[in-house]
Amino acid sequence: MPKQIDFPEVISKLKDFYSIRKRLPSFAEIQSLLGYSSKGGVSVLMAHLLKRGVLKRDSKGKFVPSPILEGGIKLLGTVQAGFPSPAEEELVDTLSLDEFLIKNPQASYLVKVSGDSMIDAGIMPDDLVIVERGRQPRHGDIVIAEVDGEWTLKYYEKHGAKVLLRPANKKYPLIEPKAELVVGGVVVANVRKYK
Amino acid sequence: MSASTNRPLSISSFPKPIIHIDCDAFFTSVEQALNPELRGKPVVTGKERGIVACASYEAKALGVKRPMRLWEAQKLLPKLICLPSDYETYSLYSTRMFEIMRRFTPTVEEYSIDEAFAELSGLRRLHRAGYEEIAWKIKQAIQTELGLTVSVGLSASKTLAKIAGKEKKPDGFFVLPASELHLYLPKVPLERVCGFGPNTVALLEKQGIRNVWDYVSRPEAWAQRLLGKIGVELWHELRGDAVHPVMTEVKDDYASISKTKTFTPPSSEKDFVRAQLIRNLESAFIKIRRHKLRAKVMAVFLRSQDFRSLGVEAGLDRSTSSILDAVGLAGELFESIFRPGTLYRSTGVVLSKLEADRTMQYSLFDDVPKIESMKRIDKVMDDVNEHYGKHALHLGTSLWLGKHRQHIAGRGDLPERKMQLLKGETFRCRIGIPIWNVKV
């Protein structure tokens, strides 16, 4: 039974090759690229590609790429001619939402907020804050800290050698750690999903 | 010959600097890192299996050992906290540990879920630090970012690094330069070498070898004669001459793939036990296709309530990645070992003689159109299950599983992460970031 050729797959691989090397692969290279066991198989494939217009022959009979493959050089969209539109160009350097919210993925954790001591800072119960462990807290950062055996979410304030934890809710008092303060991590983002 | 008169094996400290990093009581440490109220308490994981899979240092100190039946451990220590294993979160932690290591060096070998090797040569200038300091920085980074402790061994080969890493646990850090082996190895008993099992140790002791130094002091030819190739490799490794490379590629050449599941309560119902077995077979074939492999040999086994196992192995007609090629045979094998009236507690499947599922040489008698159509069925099943969740589309036999989850009663407990889904998460699919359970 003849092997089914997965044309989109084949074309995308040839495109990748062409965009990096700026030339067509040799038969041997296609063989290893697509996992053919013989060059005979490759030549059958080439005939198919010729028929589909993915490849062309030049005046001397050599294989040359068609615009379908050359299109792969261009990083942006599938425009075959003309200048890439500025809108497409802008897409080259974008951040995913993950990258936008998280700086160090290995040290970041989700914490579900239950209390209301930071509502004036816009952190509501049931919000998910992203906390980075091991980051050095600075004055004004929001931190997760263990104070005298209790965990809390507060503003971190440094006054000289003294550290204070300030809530963002008038109902709660300013915390001055008596025995021990361990900063577990610094809040780097807050996520609230409505739907 | 006394240790003080031994001569150094090497004048260089680290001809090839290799570190071994091992998490301390990994599963329970992850639980304790994410749940502050578990810290300092005796905790074990493995509730869903009914055995102690991992015990925290607090639990170990009070006599809980691995492997122990859970009820034994609870009888010993009534205040013991037993948690169901949360492999998803453990895997996230594992990946994070490897990623942190890769920030320092690209040459990292993921040895197991909680263990890794890394090779540091050439990195001193990049990090402006000696090997010892780099190893220390890696340890500190893992500990602050993951919130658990690891034990680190730095030495001149994988075998030595592993020995050094076990020198002190938990929170260990031990540096063993090749130039000091002659002082250290006389103190190391043979069984601490990864590769010397009880039988090898017994054989070596008969030869008058009492410790690792005795072993490396003998000539290479002697090691060759006694233990063959493996013995010679270890002989070099233990002399600080690294022969086992740190392998960076993710392991995907499995010698065999096995799937075993225990279910409670135990059952003697034939259709149900068969369905359990077929479900394992389905899982094994899903895995085999994910790794683009196929198998030539299949073994099935049943384990009864009194922990007696009965297994049988048979060759498949052809090397295959399709469950439809195997399910008939699996049914026959099941019939041959199933004993009516016996209570069974687990079933398992092992696929072996694996090879890459690339080229296919059909034999003269193969029904090629049928094989091709089976491949298409596999593809459809994999696609559907990827979309709707594992086992959403399955063989009719597994319908006998009914609504029965793996375990009824307490052992059916799911990890908290699977119980408390965030908005938008499903039972099958959750955010790949650990949730830190602090009440704030």
Report the gap between the CA of A35 and the closest CA in chain B (Å). 8
Q: Is B438 on the interface with A (CB under 8 A)?
A: yes
Asked if residue A135 has pLDDT above 60, the reply is yes
What is the distance between the alpha carbons of residues A155 and A170, in angstroms, rounded to a whole number? 13
**Count of CB contacts below 8 A, A vs B?**
69
CATH number of domain containing A61: 1.10.10
CATH number of domain containing A169: 2.10.109.10
**For the segment A3-30, what is each residue's pLDDT rounded down to a tens digit?**
678 888 888 888 888 878 878 888 888 8
Among B89, B149, B436, which would you mutate to test the A interface (most chain A Cβ atoms within 10 Å of its Cβ)? Answer: B436
Within 74-103 of B, beta carbons closer than 8 Å to A belong to: 96, 99-100, 103
Asked if residue A141 has pLDDT above 90, the reply is yes
CB neighbour list of residue A56: distance below 8 Å, 6 or more residues apart: A50, A63, A64, A65, A66
Q: Which long-range contacts (CB under 8 A, 24 or more apart) does B62-67 make?
A: none
Q: Is A146 on the interface with B (CB under 8 A)?
A: yes
Residue B222 tokens read as 């002697």
| B35 contacts in chain A (CB < 8 Å) | none
Domains of chain B, CATH where assigned = 1-251 (3.30.70.270), 256-401 (3.30.1490.100)
Q: Is B374 on the interface with A (CB under 8 A)?
A: no
Query: What pLDDT does residue A23 have?
Result: 84
Catalytic annotation, residues of A:
117, 154
Q: pLDDT-derived band of residue B191, with 50, 70 and 90 as boundaries? A: very high
Q: Is B146 on the interface with A (CB under 8 A)?
A: yes
Q: pLDDT-derived band of residue B409, with 50, 70 and 90 as boundaries? A: low
Mean pLDDT of chain A: 85
What is the distance between the alpha carbons of residues A41 and B289, in angstroms, rounded to a whole number? 25
What is the distance between the alpha carbons of residues A46 and A31, in angstroms, rounded to a whole number? 11
> Total domain count for chain A?
2
**Looking at the partner chain, which of A1, A35, A107 has a beta carbon nearest the beta carbon of B145?**
A107
Whether A85 and A155 share a structural domain: no
CB neighbour list of residue A148: distance below 8 Å, 6 or more residues apart: A177, A178, A179, A180
What is the distance between the alpha carbons of residues B377 and B397, in angstroms, rounded to a whole number? 17
Whether A64 and A116 share a structural domain: no
Whether A166 and A104 share a structural domain: yes
Q: Is A131 on the interface with B (CB under 8 A)?
A: yes
Asked if residue B331 has pLDDT above 50, the reply is yes
Query: What pLDDT does residue B399 have?
Result: 83
Q: Is B416 on the interface with A (CB under 8 A)?
A: no
Domain with A55, as residue range(s), is 7-89
Whether A76 and A134 share a structural domain: no
Asked if residue B1 has pLDDT above 60, the reply is no
**For the segment B352-383, what is each residue's pLDDT rounded down to a tens digit?**
888 888 766 677 777 788 888 888 898 898 88
H-helix or E-strand spanning residue B296 = strand B293-304
Give me the percent of chain B exceeding a pLDDT of 70.
95
Whether A133 and A151 share a structural domain: yes
Whether A74 and A121 share a structural domain: no
Q: Is B368 on the interface with A (CB under 8 A)?
A: yes
Q: pLDDT-derived band of residue B2, with 50, 70 and 90 as boundaries? A: very low
> Does residue B146 contact residue B96 with C-beta atoms inside 8 Å?
yes
Within 10-49 of B, beta carbons closer than 8 Å to A belong to: 34, 36
Number of C-beta neighbours around residue A180 at 10 A: 10
Q: pLDDT-derived band of residue B397, with 50, 70 and 90 as boundaries? A: confident
Residue B418 tokens read as 């699977």
Query: What pLDDT does residue B385 have?
Result: 86
Number of C-beta neighbours around residue B78 at 10 A: 6
**For the segment B276-320, what is each residue's pLDDT rounded down to a tens digit?**
999 999 999 998 998 888 899 999 999 888 878 888 989 988 888
Report the gap between the CA of A1 and the closest CA in chain B (Å). 7
Give me the percent of chain A exceeding a pLDDT of 90.
43
Query: What pLDDT does residue A82 have?
Result: 52
Query: What pLDDT does residue A2 have?
Result: 53
**Looking at the partner chain, which of A110, A144, A151 has a beta carbon nearest the beta carbon of B435?**
A110
Query: What pLDDT does residue A87 have?
Result: 63
Q: Do B423 and A112 touch (CB under 8 A)?
A: no
| A175 contacts in chain B (CB < 8 Å) | none
Average pLDDT over residues B143-167: 96
Query: What pLDDT does residue B14 have?
Result: 93
Closest CA to B46 of B21, B26, B63: B26
Nearest residue on chain A to B98, alpha-carbon basis: A106
Residue A179 domain flag: yes
Task: Single out the residue in A37, A64, A89 at which a domain terminates.
Answer: A89
**For the segment B219-228, what is each residue's pLDDT rounded down to a tens digit?**
999 999 999 9
Query: What pLDDT does residue A83 have?
Result: 57
**For the segment B73-119, what is each residue's pLDDT rounded down to a tens digit?**
999 999 999 999 999 999 999 999 999 999 999 999 999 999 999 99
Asked if residue B183 has pLDDT above 50, the reply is yes
> Does residue B389 contact residue B246 with C-beta atoms inside 8 Å?
no
> Does residue B173 contact residue B139 with C-beta atoms inside 8 Å?
yes
Q: pLDDT-derived band of residue A109, with 50, 70 and 90 as boundaries? A: very high
Average pLDDT over residues B110-130: 94
CB neighbour list of residue B85: distance below 8 Å, 6 or more residues apart: B27, B45, B46, B47, B48, B49, B53, B415
> Does residue B21 contact residue B139 with C-beta atoms inside 8 Å?
yes
DSSP class of B10: -
Q: Do B146 and A184 touch (CB under 8 A)?
A: no
Q: pLDDT-derived band of residue B4, with 50, 70 and 90 as boundaries? A: very low
**HEC profile of chain A:** CCCCCCHHHHHHHHHHHHHHHCCCCCHHHHHHHHCCCCHHHHHHHHHHHHHCCCEEECCCCCEEECHHHHHHHCCCCCCCCCCCCHHHHCCCCCCCHHHHHCCCHHHEEEEECCCCCCHHHCCCCCCEEEEEECCCCCCCCEEEEEECCEEEEEEEEEECCEEEEECCCCCCCCECCCCCEEEEEEEEEEECCCC
Q: Is A87 on the interface with B (CB under 8 A)?
A: no
Task: Single out the residue in A23, A58, A89 at which a domain terminates.
Answer: A89
Per-residue DSSP letters for B234-264?
HHHHHTT---SPPP-SPP---SEEEEEEEEE
What is the distance between the alpha carbons of residues A179 and B4, in angstroms, rounded to a whole number? 50
Lowest pLDDT segment from B40-49, B265-274, B382-391 = B382-391
| B440 contacts in chain A (CB < 8 Å) | 111, 113-115, 144, 151-153
ipTM: 0.74
Q: Is A165 on the interface with B (CB under 8 A)?
A: no
Q: Is A111 on the interface with B (CB under 8 A)?
A: yes
| A104 contacts in chain B (CB < 8 Å) | 145
Most confident of A25-29, A39-43, A72-76, B14-18: B14-18
Whether A180 and A119 share a structural domain: yes
Among A109, A150, A155, which would you mutate to test the B interface (most chain B Cβ atoms within 10 Å of its Cβ)? Answer: A109
Whether A28 and A83 share a structural domain: yes
Lowest pLDDT segment from B82-86, B249-253, B407-411 = B407-411
Nearest residue on chain B to A110, alpha-carbon basis: B435
Residue A110 domain flag: yes
Angle between helices A39-51 and A7-21 (to 10 degrees): 100
Asked if residue A75 has pLDDT above 70, the reply is no
Lowest pLDDT segment from A50-59, A71-80, B110-119, B230-239 = A71-80
Residue with tokens 């308490």: B41
Q: Which residues pair with A189 in a beta bridge?
A: A130
Mean pLDDT of chain B: 89
H-helix or E-strand spanning residue B173 = strand B173-175
